[in-house]
Amino acid sequence: MARKNRTMTVLLLIFFLIVAAITLLPLALLAVSSLRPGSDLMRYGLNFSIDWNTANLNEYRMLFSGANNYFIWYRNSLIITVVQVALALFLSACVGYGFAMYDFKGKNLAFACVLLVMMVPTEVILLPLYRLITRMHLINNMWGIILPYLVVPMLVFFFRQYLSGIPKDFLDAARVDGCTEYGIFLRIMIPLMKPSFAAMGIYQGMSSWNNFLWPMIVTNSITKITLPVGLQSLLSPYGNNYDILIAGSCFAIIPILILFVLFQRYFIEGMTAGGVKG
């Protein structure tokens, strides 16, 4: 039995090593290519044939030289991600808490609306939403990117799920102690929700940092766009700028990768705890 298990272990490990290799391959290609001049890619294609003698960090040097907008985009993305994650987490937690802990008139209707928003892809209302943002004079403004996504239904759903495990007597006890309704939320519940904040923080951080379509639509000034939109703009028909595109793409993955590596334990715990219960 033990022997059979060992063979299984080896087979499984080999299998997953192959899967992992395939998974990492595109990123490895990207990393290797970032050491080659961008014009090489145009002439010979993206591949692993790299002459280590000519490999260099010129592309990164160019990236950091400040002669391009890369770090403006980086900063825009960073600010938008941080603001959006903070607001979305707090507000969605409020809403989720409201749904989980109270019974009130219209609750079912309101929650049905949450589900509705969750089920309709935002792409459907792209156009009217864009016109609305235009009329609010939020074009080319980070609030134009953030405002429609202040409350994320997916997060509301998740927090509601997470909080429904907490008995309501707990609240009554706090009330007896003289806590106000908001005090309970701020002082008691928020600390309790920490692990789920970590999980949803990564989730929201990922989608904010990588969001492409909506920021592309809302911003157009080259100094107001976010990193993914900026990277895409390097592929314009008026001259592809592969030099900073490839190095820039590599560098764009880094912050979110670090966050993930640091907090992945919470992330996975949080996902499991909130769980998908249908």
Partner 1 sequence: MKKRILALAVTVAMLAGSLAGTTALVSASEDGSTQGTNTFVDGGTDLSFWTFQELHVPFWTTMADVWNEQNPDRPINLTVTNGESHSTHSKLLIACQSGEGAPDMADIEIGYYGSFLKDGYLLPINEAVEPYKDDVVMSRITMYGDADGNYYGVDFHLGETVTYYNMEILEEAGVNPDDIVTWDDYFEAGQKVLEATGKPMTAVETSDLFLPQAMMLELGAQYVDEEGNPNLVTDEHAKVIEYIRSKLAEGTIEIAPGGGFHTEEWYGHLNAGDVASITMPLWYMGRFTDYCADLKGKIAIAEMPVWNEGDVRAVLQGGTGTSVIKGTENEELAKDFLAFAKLSAEGCTYEWNELGFDPIRTELWDDPALTENQDNKFIAYFQTNPFDILKKNGTDLTAPDISGQYAATYQTLVSTTYSNAFEFSVDQDVTELLQGEQDSIIF
Partner 2 sequence: MKKQSFFRKFLYSQKVAPYVFIAPFVITFLVFFAYSIFSMVMMSFQKVAGAGTTFIGTENYRVLSNSIFQKSLKNSIFYTIVSCALMIPIPLVLAVMLNSKPMRAKSTFRSILFIPALTSVVVAGVVFRLMFGELEGSFMNQIIGMFGKAPIVWLRTPSTVWLVLFFVCLWRWTGVNMMYYLSGLQQIPADLYESASIDGASVMQQFRYITIPLLKPTIVYVLTISIFGGMAMFSESYMIFNGNKSPNNVGTTLVGFLYRMGFEQNNLGIASAVGVVFLLIVLVVNAIQLAINGTFSRKEN
The entry of partner 2, partner 1, none that residue 57 binds, CB within 5 to 8 Å by partner kind: none
Q: Indicate which of partner 1, partner 2, none lies near residue 190 (CB less than 5 to 8 Å, by partner kind).
A: none
Which of the choices partner 2, partner 1, none does residue 52 contact, using the CB cut-off of 5 to 8 A by kind?
Answer: none
Q: Is 67 in the site for partner 1 (CB under 8 A)?
A: yes
Check binding of 78 to partner 1 (CB under 8 A). yes
Shortest Cβ 67–partner 2 spacing (Å): 21
- Its sign, for the CA torsion 193, 195, 201, 206, is negative
Please report how close the Cβ of residue 33 comes to partner 2 at its closest, in angstroms.
8
For the segment 179-218, give every residue that binds partner 1 (CB under 8 A): 216-217
* Closest-CA residue to 275 (of 158, 142, 147): 158
Give yes or no for a contact between 159 and 196, defined as CB atoms under 8 angstroms apart.
Answer: yes
Q: Does 232 participate in binding partner 1 (rule CB under 8 A)?
A: yes
How many residues interact with partner 1 (rule CB under 8 A)? 44
**Phi, psi values for residue 82, rounded to 5°:** -65, -50
Q: Which of 35, 62, 70, 95: binder of partner 1 (CB under 8 A)? A: 70
Taking the least distance from each CB to partner 2, the nearer of 64 and 117 is: 117
> Does residue 141 sit in helix, strand or coil?
coil
Could you please report the per-residue DSSP string of 21-56? HHHHHHHHHHHHHTTS-HHHHHHH-S-S---TTT--
Our finding on whether 43 is near partner 1 (CB under 8 A) is yes
Q: Enter the DSSP assignment of 184.
A: I
CA dist 27 and 264 (Å) reads 20
Residue 10: Cβ-neighbour burial (10 angstroms; 0-12, 13-18, 19+): exposed
**Least Å distance between CB 125 and partner 1?**
15
Whole-number Å distance between alpha carbons of 53 and 277: 55
Q: Find the binder of partner 1 among 60, 64, 90, 170 (CB under 8 A).
A: 64
Inter-residue contact 198 to 259 (CB < 8 Å) = no
Stretch that binds partner 1, among 10-18, 49-57, 89-97, 252-260 (CB under 8 A): 252-260
Site for partner 1 contains 141 (CB under 8 A): no
CB of 44 closer than 8 Å to CB of 31: no
Q: Does 143 bind partner 1 (CB under 8 A)?
A: no
Binding site for partner 1 (CB under 8 A): 39, 41-44, 64, 66-72, 74-75, 78-79, 130-131, 134-135, 137, 139, 216-217, 219-223, 225, 229, 232-233, 236-240, 242, 255, 258-259, 262
